[in-house]
Amino acid sequence: MADIARVTLGLTRPGPSNAPKISFVAKDLDVLEWNGDLVAVGVREKDVEKDEAGHFKNPLLYQLNEALGGLLAEASSEEDFSGKSAQSLVLRVSGLRFKRVGLFGLGQSASSAAAFVGLGEAIAAAAQASRAASLALSLAFSEDLSAESKPGIASAIALGIVNGIFDDNRYKSNPKMTLLQSVDVLGLGFGPNMEKKLKYAEYVSSGVVFGKELVNSPANILTPGQLAGEVLKITHKYHDVLSAKIFNEEEIIEMKMGSYLGVTAAATANPPHFIHLCYKPPGGSVSTKLGLVGKGITFDSGGYNLKTGANSNIETMKNDMGGAAAIFGAAKAIAELKPPGVEIHFVVAACENMISATGMRPSDIVTASNGKTIEVNNTDAEGRLCLADALIYTCNLGVEKIIDLATLTGACITALGPSVAGAFTPNEELAKEVIDAAERSGEKIWRLPMEESYWESMKSGVADMINTGPGQGGAITAALFLKQFVDENVQWMHLDIAGPVWNTKKSVATGFGVSTLVEWVLKNVS
């Protein structure tokens, strides 16, 4: 990994991480007795309804409004706050123990984890805007919730708060620190189960932040070698449960990973690094082996099929390692949670896709490590070439199930938009497991068909296959390509995360995939 310490282009060095350090504590305390900066109350539309005298019908809102001399009801009417999703109303108050009170809308109902994660993000934005160091979280409808659901809801909101408050300012010359330090959860109960779920949110959000930092880092900083270096850092920190093997170019050649090498070996000054991170549980007893494979293209120029034009998005191609970031973010969270009975292999064939006189050309034929040959008809479909050898390697580890995550196709964004990942699998059981895990995490995944008849369009006249099919159904043919490199005895799912991995409005990473992967792993614990 000689490229880790070399002088980077532009002499840029990242500053320290601004990962939030927030204490989440559930307390048995009345809202009006809480002392701090901001009281944040989640409300549904029916919670904001008033009687003929203009008083809130909801007990908590009625109590707050009375303490404020009717100001809350008056402001909600003037600003047309009705509790709709994404609406918020924040007031500076006096004469109470807290400085501000805010109402945050959840719409007609609040039943999904995604809604509560979104609530947490909205509360975080208000806390940041008001420079709050302390926050009290409450729900106007907590009495309508079952005791069993409350810890999970609190956890989802906590995850949203950390996601929303995090500002990756490592590359800014005058970074501002996060002020929020404590969140007290009121009215949702307390005890060991609540403490466990809040701690879970802390660990998962830490993994999400790590994933975001990886994706946000530019390609002149996060080379394949530096990505391997970041993995070694978390391995050293959690050496009790994590170990890592990093293979260099000579070792990759020995493993006959020609599909992977075709992308990277001759076209870049930054050499490839094949990364294998392994989690083994404390105690050593293992009944289930899982594989997580991530696409790790630290920059994708498109190669000779160069990304050009206004809509090529070449300027965002540092995010082409979003799959790798997701699995390593999950690894960090899992190392904290230490689930028993499950062994997990995190595998990434990391490299750049660049242009050189000795680089891969359209019509070249490469040979994957299982002997299958691929005619490269498009050098910009490089991620699947790297994933092919990574999937073969992971299957050979004896895993029972594999999920791969990749920013693989623009076609999936066309089909599902920027917020939803596409899921492909021939296995019904695995499909249910992962989709259920996504629903519990608040991330959005939609299963798309693996139409086998489309494979005919992937046949080559001179090799076993080509690496891209016709323009139609590109996300499906990409999944069918990957399927050729998965052992038929291994349950496998491909997640195309090209859309949700990146927030185009803010031009930052989302950390997508980490939460779902952690949920899925925990459901596979014996």
* Domain at 174, CATH number: 3.40.220.10
pTM: predicted TM-score of the whole model, two decimal places? 0.96
Cα-to-chain-centroid distance, residue 4: 25
Last residue of a domain, one of 190, 219, 250: 190
Residues with a known catalytic role: 307, 384
pLDDT-based confidence at residue 15 (cuts at 50, 70, 90): very high
Q: Say yes or no to pLDDT of 2 above 50.
A: no
Q: pLDDT digits over 226-262, tens only?
A: 999 999 999 999 999 999 999 999 999 999 999 999 9
- Give yes or no: residues 152 and 270 share one domain: no
- Give yes or no: residues 246 and 392 share one domain: yes
- Give yes or no: residues 182 and 105 share one domain: yes
Q: What is the mean pLDDT of the chain?
A: 96
Q: Are 437 and 519 in contact (CB under 8 A)?
A: yes
Nearest to 264 by CA among 248, 286, 287: 248
Last residue of a domain, one of 162, 190, 218: 190
pLDDT recorded at residue 264: 85
Q: Are 239 and 335 in contact (CB under 8 A)?
A: no
Stretch 448-453: mean pLDDT, rounded? 97
pLDDT recorded at residue 136: 98
Would residue 203 count as lying in a domain?
no
Q: Say yes or no to pLDDT of 1 above 50.
A: no
Would residue 329 count as lying in a domain?
yes
Last residue of a domain, one of 190, 225, 258: 190
Q: pLDDT digits over 295-346, tens only?
A: 999 999 999 999 998 889 999 999 999 999 999 999 999 999 999 999 999 9
Would residue 5 count as lying in a domain?
no
* Domain at 454, CATH number: 3.40.630.10
- Give yes or no: residues 154 and 221 share one domain: no
pLDDT recorded at residue 311: 86
Burial pattern 335-371, b for ≥16 Cβ within 10 A else e, equals bbbebeebbbbbbbbbbbbbeeeebbeeeeebbbbbe
- Give yes or no: residues 214 and 184 share one domain: no
Would residue 6 count as lying in a domain?
no
Would residue 200 count as lying in a domain?
no
- Give yes or no: residues 261 and 396 share one domain: yes
Nearest to 60 by CA among 79, 83, 37: 83
Q: Are 397 and 318 in contact (CB under 8 A)?
A: no
- Give yes or no: residues 449 and 400 share one domain: yes
pLDDT recorded at residue 6: 53
- Give yes or no: residues 390 and 419 share one domain: yes
Residue range of the domain that includes 114 = 23-190
Would residue 370 count as lying in a domain?
yes
Q: Are 258 and 369 in contact (CB under 8 A)?
A: yes
Would residue 195 count as lying in a domain?
no
- Give yes or no: residues 218 and 173 share one domain: no
- Give yes or no: residues 250 and 304 share one domain: yes
Would residue 15 count as lying in a domain?
no
- Give yes or no: residues 30 and 105 share one domain: yes
Both structure tokens of 506: 């803010």
- Give yes or no: residues 54 and 144 share one domain: yes
Give how many domains the chain has, as a whole number: 2
**What is the dihedral angle through the alpha carbons of 60, 63, 68, 73, rounded to the nearest 10 degrees?**
60
pLDDT recorded at residue 267: 72
Stretch 333-362: mean pLDDT, rounded? 96
**What is the dihedral angle through the alpha carbons of 259, 262, 265, 268, rounded to the nearest 10 degrees?**
-130
